């Protein structure tokens, strides 16, 4: 019996060693505590609406947008201007207006400021659309507008002075990290395996076709509770203490 007990303790210890770091790298999840909780229970009154449902602002179990998992929003149709530099141009070509991939469009469906955050495909039960153009529906006591200036100049609509679609001073997205490594620029970058071990996510997640795209979600996860875990601010997939997340890719 003592042997069996000791064996169970050993197994638990081994699982702790291997499981906890993996969970830690993904960031502590509790979206209810974050500003992505736009319901009436959310921490920011300026975004509150007349529903207690938290997930509905992004997800729906039925009739979702097929571009993303059970996605309850339309994808933005803005044209995008990406960050560009001589180094990046040598890798992806001079293409600062390349399309944004679906994984990042999910984020930008709120954060580009062109689509109100309470404008969803399927509103919560008991709530109906408020004179919203089809197929998108908005709900709540009043429309929650886009989020002006989230990326320093991305605004809340055509009249907004910040404009929509300018990503030129943000980390580049929607390019293949492996292309960087294959380009000869790899003196300044770690391998895909190194970056993944540190918590970075590349897309598609299974990388079955050898694609390792960098997207918004490579470094950010909207479900991460950084209010009580400040080293994950803002919504990071892994702690950036000592610039650890940056140095997961960048060999500096």
Give 126-167 pLDDT, tens digit per residue: 676 543 334 456 666 555 655 544 433 333 334 444 456 778
Which residues 6+ apart lie within 8 Å of 250 measured at CB? Answer: 188, 189, 190
- Looking only at the bridges linking them, the beta strands covering 166-167 and 137-138 are unpaired
pLDDT at 16 over 50: no
The whole-angstrom separation of Cα 141 and Cα 143 is: 7
pLDDT in the model for residue 66? 85
Q: Of residues 97 and 42, which shows the higher confidence score?
A: 42
Q: Is 174 left (phi over 0), alpha (psi -120 to 50) or beta?
A: left
Q: Is residue 54 predicted with pLDDT exceeding 70?
A: yes
Instruction: Compare 45 and 102 and report the one with higher pLDDT.
Output: 102
In order of 42, 93, 245, the CA distances from 97 in angstroms are 36, 11, 27
Q: What's the pLDDT at 186? A: 61
pTM: 0.78
With contact defined as beta carbons under 8 Å apart, do 52 and 40 qualify? yes
In the three-class reduction of DSSP (H, G, I as helix; E, B as strand; rest coil), residue 224 is classed as: strand
């Amino acid at each position: 019996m003592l042997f069996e007990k000791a064996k169970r303790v050993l197994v638990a210890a081994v699982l702790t060693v291997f499981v906890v770091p993996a969970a830690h790298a993904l960031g502590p999840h509790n979206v209810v505590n974050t500003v992505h909780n736009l319901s009436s229970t959310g921490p920011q009154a300026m975004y509150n609406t007349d529903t207690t449902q938290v997930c509905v602002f992004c997800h729906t179990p039925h009739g979702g947008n097929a571009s993303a998992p059970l996605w309850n929003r339309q994808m933005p149709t803005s044209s995008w201007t990406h960050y560009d530099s001589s180094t990046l141009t040598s890798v992806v070509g001079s293409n600062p207006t390349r399309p944004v991939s679906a994984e990042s469009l999910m984020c930008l469906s709120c954060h580009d400021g062109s689509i109100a955050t309470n404008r969803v495909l399927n509103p919560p039960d008991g709530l109906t659309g408020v004179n919203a153009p089809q197929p998108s529906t908005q709900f709540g006591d009043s429309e929650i507008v886009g989020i002006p200036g989230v990326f320093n100049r991305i605004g809340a609509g055509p009249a907004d002075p910040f404009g929509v679609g300018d990503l030129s001073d943000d980390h580049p997205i929607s390019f293949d990290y492996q292309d960087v490594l294959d380009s000869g620029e790899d003196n300044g970058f770690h391998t895909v395996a190194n970056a993944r071990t540190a918590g970075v996510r590349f897309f598609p997640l299974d990388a079955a076709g050898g694609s390792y795209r960098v997207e918004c979600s490579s470094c950010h996860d909207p479900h991460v509770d950084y209010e009580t875990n400040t080293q994950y601010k803002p919504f990071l997939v892994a702690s950036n203490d000592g610039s650890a997340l940056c140095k997961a890719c960048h060999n500096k």
